[in-house]
Chain A
């Protein structure tokens, strides 16, 4: 018994020293279980065999019902991939906003960017809903315009003497976010959108199933998160303040624009296809910072991995809690995230973060 405990302890210590390995393992587990769960439970082993069967050059004699392959490939796999991408995007852009604003409470949802992106996406959708593939590629563009407009508005309203204090940032974010949400709701009710889709979108959940949203989101996501992963050093230097960052040789204005544009692009694509989901961008980078330190060269890639796992977990809960009906995943993240937010707020009062 004692020996087994020892091994577990050793494992925990080892995995903490290998953050990438740990997060990749967690993601793989979450990924497989997300595919397994549903009206019919499909054993993980069968899932792996069905997926392996799809790879070129591998042929496995099927010992599973035909419907399994169809369920996995047409429904659960695309859903799981979209949820994982969304979680990764929200967590990594949340981490980038936190670094940019030097404020641990910046989250795409709390600072209103997600709502702004939602408004942009819905404006784009009203031109073309339900969507053909061309319309699909326009939704992220609308969301991006909405996101970047919001972030600039919030930033300028929240800025006091070159600093972005916690209170003004959240107040400005909430005000502008509420305004954008109200516009979004009224737009959705005025047009002949299906009310269920609209509500799902606003509460955070993917209104469209299948591979279409995945293929539409993927290129933007890869570019956005790829560029965010490169911004770690700039964000590190910016933690000393803009003036000192400049004296250390960082082209501050260029760095800020780079981060704002890439983080807003990443948020916008997530919102365009998965709706307005809050708190993932807050919780994930925070846990990572607590466990593995403040180096943004690490925080961003780890947030990509951790954000995927976290949103997959929330999404599984959303599907299980009220089965057979499904909760919008945004409700689950808000239920878990709001208390977490209050906890950080209490800590932030006592501690100097940056």
Chain B
């Protein structure tokens, strides 16, 4: 369970996150949404420990993160960074093994537990066939699964993803998110994920947090948060929302599109 209490972050002198309190339970995906500059990535970075926080607490299963060392923190919380072109002549297996850094001695000697964890992570991210390929030779979607596998190899109860589907095409977006959803349920992970595409959010997220200008405006299920009124106000653009005829999840359109098609 990830608990964020009254979190504030400031890039001197501007306060970029104001009094954020959130809870993510095991087996649950929380999507962070909001316009550009709302503080989604900052929140991910603050929780992961790469941006210093001004005040507030972050707990994982009752342990306060600020009291943990870098290695201890990497054992409770793993991050999947934004998709990007990965260089370097490492094999997929080597890259995923680096996710075990926190468990290794500082010399990086791997033991049997590490190798088992890496094999499991490769399997879960559906990368078994790629284990000995060079990451630089993989497609964008495959590289993103390598970053996911590296985070899974950390064997943490909490997973943070920072806009993991950026730069991916529709097929790879849905593949990656289905995979994350499946693993969240199977492994009882608490997942917090910054996302842009609101329709993907309503399909894949269990909870949604809408951030605007560093403030938490709305927090709840997709049905509760993704409402025309909330979204229009947050994104400063009129939208319409209908329910999916089968699943009932909200689907979002820019206003006017529906009228034109009728």
Chain A residues within 8 Å of B, Cβ to Cβ:
230, 232-234, 236-237, 239-240, 243-252, 289, 293-295, 297, 351-354
Contact = CB atoms under 8 A, between A and B. Distances in A.
User: Which interface residue of B48, B104, B106 has the most chain A CB atoms within 10 A?
Assistant: B106
Given A232-B108, A237-B98, A237-B101, A246 B70 contact: yes
B99 A248 contact: yes
Interface stretch (B14-22, B75-83, B177-185): B75-83
12 contacts: A230-B106, A230-B107, A233-B101, A239-B90, A247-B79, A248-B101, A249-B70, A249-B71, A249-B75, A249-B102, A250-B71, A352-B136
A248 B150 contact: yes
B79 A244 contact: yes
A243 B50 contact: yes
Contact of A247 (B49, B69, B108): B49
Given A247-B50, A295-B90, A236 B79 contact: no
Nearest to A235: B108
A353 B89 CA distance: 8
B70 A250 contact: yes
User: Which interface residue of B89, B103, B136 has the most chain A CB atoms within 10 A?
Assistant: B89
Given A236-B90, A236-B94, A248 B154 contact: yes
Contacts of B101: 233, 237, 245, 248-250
Contacts of A246: 49-50, 70
Contact of B87 (A236, A237, A252, A353): A353
Contacts of A289: 89
A234 B108 CA distance: 7
Interface in B79-127: 79, 81, 85, 87-90, 94, 98-99, 101-104, 106-108
User: Which interface residue of A246, A247, A249 has the most chain B CB atoms within 10 A?
Assistant: A247
A191 B162 CA distance: 61
A255 to B, nearest CB: 8
Given A247-B48, A248-B101, A295 B87 contact: no
A169 B102 CA distance: 31
A352 B231 CA distance: 40
Q: How large is the interface on B (under 10, 10 to 19, 20 to 34, 35 or more residues)?
A: 20 to 34
A233 B104 contact: yes
B29 to A, nearest CB: 19
Contacts of A230: 106-107
B87 A352 contact: yes
A251 B74 CA distance: 10
A134 B82 CA distance: 56
B162 to A, nearest CB: 10
A252 B73 CA distance: 13
B14 to A, nearest CB: 18
Nearest to B77: A247
Nearest to A250: B101
A246 B101 CA distance: 10
B108 A248 contact: no
Given A236-B94, A248-B98, A249-B71, A354 B87 contact: yes
Contact of B154 (A243, A249, A294, A353): A249
B81 A352 contact: no
A243 B42 CA distance: 13
A289 B90 CA distance: 11
A353 B50 contact: no
Nearest to A236: B98
Contacts of A237: 98, 101, 108
Contacts of B106: 230, 233-234
A251 B108 CA distance: 13
A295 B110 CA distance: 14
B69 A248 contact: no
User: Which interface residue of B90, B98, B99 has the most chain A CB atoms within 10 A?
Assistant: B98
A265 to B, nearest CB: 18
Contacts of A243: 45, 50, 81
